[in-house]
Structure 1
Amino acid sequence: MTTESTSSKSSRLSSVAAAVRVLKCFSEVEPEIGISSLAKRLSLAKSTVHRLAVTLTSEGLLEQSPETGRYRLGINLFVMGALVRRRLDVSNMAQPFLKGLREKTGETIHLAVMNETNILYLYNLESSQAIRMKSYIGSIKPAFCTCEGRAIVAFGGTELMNKVLSSPLTARTPETQTDPSKLMNMFAEIRAHGYAIDDEESEQGMRGIGAPLRDITGQVVAAIGIGGPSQRLTLKKLRSLAPVLLSTAESISTQLGYRA
């Protein structure tokens, strides 16, 4: 097995940084730029900029105008931007429903999406009660042990499930289930019930229940969750919240264009 040298890694990272700088040169005011202009603006050799432009073009991040020979942003950037846009759309559309869910339950409400094998919290509404689950927009947790992550993974298809189960399954509390076969069985139960439970597995003393959100294609794009302290949210109480959680998830999914 060969090991990449420090100098090689440094050179590769430098090339990535230079490629990002190339992409940042384009704007609404200047949608097309030639190699000479890019080289001058970035203080790089023309040969270096040309090599970067060719690589970016091969990846669909740039394209060359057949009329002018200059470069412009490629279609793959639009595709990636659409993914970000979809996340923002989910958050904006879900907020009124999530406010209603907090009013009905009195507990902390979350909206999360997948980020590799983790979940990223896009939106949260904390409970007004003195003892409550705290959460922060932008925070990341492992998907396998959170109710929102489990809801996404269980309904997200075999490829996503295998990816998550082959990632490091590190226990966060004494209650965290880390056995892949038991997690696989748990995902099957989640699909049967429609919701996922986190019984003090991602945070000691806290429980949660989560459900998936689907878009117009039927794909699971996010999940919502209800969370709170275990002393108040017993498992019986948590399961009693499933109907209102599932109803809210269905309403948001309908808003996103999903039709069962």
Structure 2
Amino acid sequence: MATNTRAVPDAGEEAEQNSTEGRLSSVTAAIRVLKTFSEEEPEIGISTLAKRLKLAKSTAHRLATTLLAEGLLEQNVENGRYRLGIELFALGALVRRRLDVSAQALPFLHELRERTDETVHLAILDTTSIIYLFNLESNQAIRMRSYIGVRKPAFCTCEGRVLLAHSAPDVVGRVIKEGLVARTLKTDTSSAALLKMLEQVRIEGFSVDDEESETGMRSIAAPVRDMSGQVVAAISMGGPTQRLTKKSLRGFTPLVLNAAEGISTRLGYRRP
């Protein structure tokens, strides 16, 4: 007769599970603390926080102290109440910057797609990869395909090289340390070659991907700058090699540069 048996976790596994659940519970509680503040109630005391979140006063104080140490909360020294910290403003500014770039870029991306009839992208750098925030595909049957939110290695894409060329040395160092893995037969995985290419991008103001990230596809990218002059995104235009020859790609370069400059101007950038 078959017996119904169930594996019983040992003491170590149970302790680890309880520890993980405890950490997740603390994260959830911390998020709830932050969401308690509002425009109508910008400062809240520990007693009110504890009552509002149905937590012990000691637990609420521990959460507030941790968030205070990380800059996510501040404490009013006059009344002891807590308010949202400046670190949240900095994080929100990063999100706002992305939203602003996407909104301001749209008309220029549409115009670039119409004038080239090739696929256009808007991308940002995220650690060692690029993420596509927006794309408009070509109307032609054979075209470069892409999807919003897709990641690609920064070192071998034209968008990534534009962004890396204007990043801090430690960002480029992280890319090299992670490893330059070939995506096609034409991908150059030499760190020395990458550094040389990034210098060339800084001088010329654009970057070309000649089948280095995707076989049979060529593309060109240019930087988008914000009001401070910092490069916050890259726009690109690309298509199949049989249609987008090296000569035609060079012909489209001014269009890509003008579109990038137009978006930068809309973001408040003024050329020195």
TM-score, normalised to structure 1, is: 0.89
Quote the residue 2:250 is aligned against.
Answer: 239
- Higher-Rg member (1/2): 2
Mapped to 1, the partners of 2:163 and 2:197 lie a distance apart of 13
Q: Say whether 1:52 aligns with 2:57.
A: no
Mapped to 2, the partners of 1:242 and 1:69 lie a distance apart of 58
C-alpha spacing 1:19/1:169, structure 2 compared with 1 (3 Å): farther
Q: Which residue of 206, 227, 242 corresponds with 1:216?
A: 227
C-alpha spacing 1:238/1:58, structure 2 compared with 1 (3 Å): same
Q: Cα distance, 1:224 vs. partner?
A: 0.4
Which moves more between the two structures, 239-248 or 63-72?
Answer: 63-72
C-alpha spacing 1:133/1:161, structure 2 compared with 1 (3 Å): same
Q: How does 1:105-116 map to 2 (within 5 A)?
A: 105-116=116-127
RMSD: 2.2
Count matched residues: 256
1:30-87, Cα deviation, whole Å (9 max, x unpaired): 4333323433444443222211111111221111233443322111111111111111
Quote the residue 2:164 is aligned against.
Answer: 153
Mapped to 1, the partners of 2:213 and 2:31 lie a distance apart of 36
The residue type equivalent to 1:111 in the other structure is L
Point out where structure 2 has 5 or more consecutive residues left out of the alignment: 1-14
C-alpha spacing 1:6/1:202, structure 2 compared with 1 (3 Å): farther
The residue type equivalent to 2:47 in the other structure is S
Instruction: Find the residue that maps to 1:93 and give its secondary structure.
Output: helix
Q: How does 1:38-117 map to 2 (within 5 A)?
A: 38-117=49-128
Q: Cα distance, 1:235 vs. partner?
A: 2.4
Answer whether contact 1:101 1:248 (CA < 8 A) is retained: yes
Which moves more between the two structures, 166-175 or 136-145?
Answer: 166-175
C-alpha spacing 1:117/1:70, structure 2 compared with 1 (3 Å): same
The residue type equivalent to 2:169 in the other structure is T
Runs of 4+ with >4 A deviation: 5-14
Aligned-residue identity in percent: 62
C-alpha spacing 1:168/1:48, structure 2 compared with 1 (3 Å): farther
C-alpha spacing 1:222/1:29, structure 2 compared with 1 (3 Å): same
Mapped to 2, the partners of 1:182 and 1:99 lie a distance apart of 34
Answer whether contact 2:130 2:153 (CA < 8 A) is retained: yes
Which moves more between the two structures, 25-34 or 183-192?
Answer: 25-34
Answer whether contact 2:118 2:237 (CA < 8 A) is retained: yes
